[in-house]
A and B are shown apart, each in its own frame.
Chain A
Amino acid sequence: MTRPSGLAIYTILYLAFLYLPVLLLPLFSFNSGTIAAFPIKGWTLDWYRQLGSQQTLLDALGNSLIVGAVTAFAATGMGLFAARAYVRYRFPGRAASEGLVMLPLVVPGIIVASSMLVLFISIGLKPSLTTVILGHTFLAVPFSVAILKSAFDGFDVSLEEASYDLGENAFGTFRRVTLPIVAPGIVASLLVTFTVSFDEFVLAFFLSGSEPTLPVYIWSQIRFPAKLPNTLALGSVLLLVSVLLLVVAEIFRRRSARGLA
């Protein structure tokens, strides 16, 4: 065993810095004391038990699930077509189109949120789950395109040509050849775009009106110190759900990136 280098030690310390907040939240969610401070008073699961009996929380969860699911399918649908176009075809405006589709990743959240609120009100759409879905789909499209592009990258075009030669039409080829091959990429995209929506706060804060999503609900709870233990428990559940969903998505993404090779 050689002596670890300074760089390796720094990397370990940096990792500790990265994991500190996401590990402390769950740690204190099991604390029987009502403030997040050391020493820990004792261990309890009470805060988790109480979550199931809070109706506004369950309503917010329902809202988030609806928004996340619709967003995932809408963004993945558009992403699937666009990714296919970018990888497979050369056409004028391709680079511009790709750049535009990636734009939502870098626009500051407050500008997207305020400008969309103004747009939706101007065309007579009241803030609701519908407007949140429209906004979240906008944010999620670039994630879907990026994932599905890597899925199509490993795709052997001759398989499609073989299908045409054997008499399938374009739709049949897509359904029976293309789709099964990129299916892992589609699953990865659905999971990632769902999580993007599920965790998103600023847009939902502006656009959800009287139908809060889960992050908006959490925001309303953060202000009340008395609610802290419950917020910690809820937050820990959400952390776990997000990480699990994205681990599964990563497994699917790798499978799709490997392609049939």
Chain B
Amino acid sequence: MAALSGDTSRGMALAAPATVYVGLLVAVPLAILVAYSLWTQTYVDVDRTVTLANYQEAFTDPLVRYLLIRSILIAGAVTLVTVALAYPIAYFIALKARRKTLWLLLITIPFWSSYLLRVFAWKLILGFNGVMNSALLWAGMIEEPLSFLLYNEFAVVLTLAHAWAPFAILPIYVSLQKIDPSLLEAATDLGSGPWERFFRVTLPLTVPGVIAACLVIFIPTVGDYVTPSLVGGSDGKMIANLIQVQFGAANNWPLGATLSLLAMLAVGFVAMVFVLSVGSAGRRIR
């Protein structure tokens, strides 16, 4: 027993620095954020009288509601598009490709670079006088530049679907790898065609990977700042842009804190509903 308790204390002591550091930087800022959301901004000072005025303002301001709902819808669209585009890739690498490690490396290398620069590159590609339009004009495929490429929701979804690609491919790949081949053989022996086998055996077995991919993409995307700023234009702004304005130009930190908290709650709520509903749907299939 003595050795065991020595192990326990040694393990705890070793894990402590990272746990305490991350824990403090999660909990303390959150607590201060809550406090700020209950205070109000008066010109240059913060009035520390506790009030729900910020929440009232956030709930009644149509712009806040609009941006919050749009952020969630855009993040949802990004999640759907990214996972749908990535699934066949994960399937190909896990079940068809021979040099799996090489393929996985090829998929991830573009993402070993600055996110800011990749988004910036998309801005250059999609711009009115940008790479895509100039290439199409040069090739004689269009008469005048396409104006619907940049500064709208399409550009935001496309850019983010690119940015999150490996985060969709890898978890789905892992869950495909885990499938016992004898299950697929059994389905074939019992008379399933390739499509039926996919929808009744392969796809249900990869639900955990798909859920993981969805969460890993959806949660950070709702609060994305760089992409809507660079390629979203006025039609593609999201909640993070409004939060940044409160901490920057508008200098209303209490309202900014309130918006951050509301964004976090909204993300948590949607993610929870998603996991519960997919979980119950999965049980019904089985």
Tell me the smallest distance from the CB of B105 to a CB of chain A, in Å. Answer: 8
Q: Is B232 an interface residue (CB 8 A)?
A: no
Check B117 against A239 for contact (C-beta < 8 Å): yes
Residue of B nearest to A89 (CB): B11
The digit string for B199-227, where 1 denotes a CB below 8 A from any CB of A, is 00000000000000001100111111110
The digit string for A228-261, where 1 denotes a CB below 8 A from any CB of B, is 0001000100110011001100100000000000
Residues of chain A from 17 to 55 with CB closer than 8 A to chain B in the complex: 17-22, 24-25, 28, 35-39
B20-28, B61-69, B178-186, B275-283 - the one binding chain A: B20-28
Check A37 against B130 for contact (C-beta < 8 Å): yes
Check A91 against B7 for contact (C-beta < 8 Å): yes
Check A11 against B26 for contact (C-beta < 8 Å): no
Tell me the smallest distance from the CB of A92 to a CB of chain B, in Å. Answer: 7
Check B8 against A92 for contact (C-beta < 8 Å): yes
Check B162 against A28 for contact (C-beta < 8 Å): no
Check A7 against B96 for contact (C-beta < 8 Å): yes
Q: Is A167 an interface residue (CB 8 A)?
A: no
**Which residues of chain B have C-beta atoms less than 8 A from A166's C-beta?**
none
Tell me the smallest distance from the CB of A135 to a CB of chain B, in Å. Answer: 8
**Which residues of chain B have C-beta atoms less than 8 A from A86's C-beta?**
15
**Which residues of chain A have C-beta atoms less than 8 A from B252's C-beta?**
none
How long is the Cα–Cα vector from A162 to B252 in the complex, in angstroms? 62
Tell me the smallest distance from the CB of B46 to a CB of chain A, in Å. Answer: 10
Check A199 against B15 for contact (C-beta < 8 Å): no
> Given A114-B260, A239-B114 in contact, is the A91-B32 Cβ separation under 8 Å?
no
Q: Is A176 an interface residue (CB 8 A)?
A: no
**Which residues of chain B have C-beta atoms less than 8 A from A85's C-beta?**
10-15
Residue of A nearest to B10 (CB): A89
Tell me the smallest distance from the CB of B82 to a CB of chain A, in Å. Answer: 11
How long is the Cα–Cα vector from A5 to B120 in the complex, in angstroms? 34
Check B15 against A81 for contact (C-beta < 8 Å): yes
**Which residues of chain A have C-beta atoms less than 8 A from B122's C-beta?**
21
Check A38 against B230 for contact (C-beta < 8 Å): no
Interface residues on A, range: 35 or more
Tell me the smallest distance from the CB of A162 to a CB of chain B, in Å. Answer: 17
Residues of chain A from 92 to 140 with CB closer than 8 A to chain B in the complex: 92-94, 97, 100-101, 103-104, 106-112, 114-119, 122, 134, 137-138
Q: Is A202 an interface residue (CB 8 A)?
A: yes
Check B32 against A242 for contact (C-beta < 8 Å): no
The prevalent SS among residues of A at the interface is helix
Q: Is A15 an interface residue (CB 8 A)?
A: yes
The digit string for A165-208, where 1 denotes a CB below 8 A from any CB of B, is 00000000000000000000000000000010011011000100
How long is the Cα–Cα vector from A153 to B9 in the complex, in angstroms? 21
Tell me the smallest distance from the CB of B5 to a CB of chain A, in Å. Answer: 10
**Which residues of chain A have C-beta atoms less than 8 A from B19's C-beta?**
82, 97, 100-101
Tell me the smallest distance from the CB of A75 to a CB of chain B, in Å. Answer: 9
How long is the Cα–Cα vector from A110 to B162 in the complex, in angstroms? 20
Q: Is B138 an interface residue (CB 8 A)?
A: yes
Q: Is A219 an interface residue (CB 8 A)?
A: yes
**Which residues of chain B have C-beta atoms less than 8 A from A94's C-beta?**
11, 15
Check B223 against A109 for contact (C-beta < 8 Å): yes
Q: Which of A36, A114, A206 has the most CB of B within 10 A?
A: A114
Residue of B nearest to A235 (CB): B117
**Which residues of chain A have C-beta atoms less than 8 A from B243's C-beta?**
110, 114
**Which residues of chain B have C-beta atoms less than 8 A from A78's C-beta?**
17-18, 21
Q: Is A218 an interface residue (CB 8 A)?
A: yes
Check A14 against B85 for contact (C-beta < 8 Å): yes
Check B116 against A14 for contact (C-beta < 8 Å): no
Beyond A109-B225, A110-B240, list 13 extra A-B contacts (CB 8 Å): A10-B89, A24-B121, A28-B124, A35-B129, A36-B127, A101-B19, A108-B220, A109-B220, A110-B260, A118-B257, A119-B28, A122-B32, A242-B114
The 4 closest A-B pairs by CB, nearest first: A108-B223, A89-B11, A21-B121, A115-B29
Residue pairs across A and B with Cβ atoms less than 8 A apart, 27 shown, are A8-B92, A11-B89, A14-B89, A24-B121, A28-B124, A35-B129, A36-B124, A38-B138, A91-B8, A91-B11, A101-B18, A107-B219, A108-B240, A109-B223, A111-B260, A111-B264, A114-B33, A118-B29, A138-B22, A138-B25, A199-B115, A215-B114, A222-B123, A231-B120, A235-B120, A238-B113, A243-B113
Interface residues of A (CB under 8 A from B): 5, 7-8, 10-11, 14-15, 17-22, 24-25, 28, 35-39, 77-79, 81-82, 84-86, 88-94, 97, 100-101, 103-104, 106-112, 114-119, 122, 134, 137-138, 141, 145, 195, 198-199, 201-202, 206, 215, 218-219, 222, 231, 235, 238-239, 242-243, 246-247, 250
Interface residues of B (CB under 8 A from A): 7-19, 21-23, 25-26, 28-30, 32-33, 36, 85, 88-89, 91-93, 96-97, 103, 105-107, 109-110, 112-118, 120-125, 127, 129-131, 133-135, 138, 162, 165, 215-216, 219-226, 230, 239-240, 243-244, 247, 253, 256-257, 260, 263-264, 267
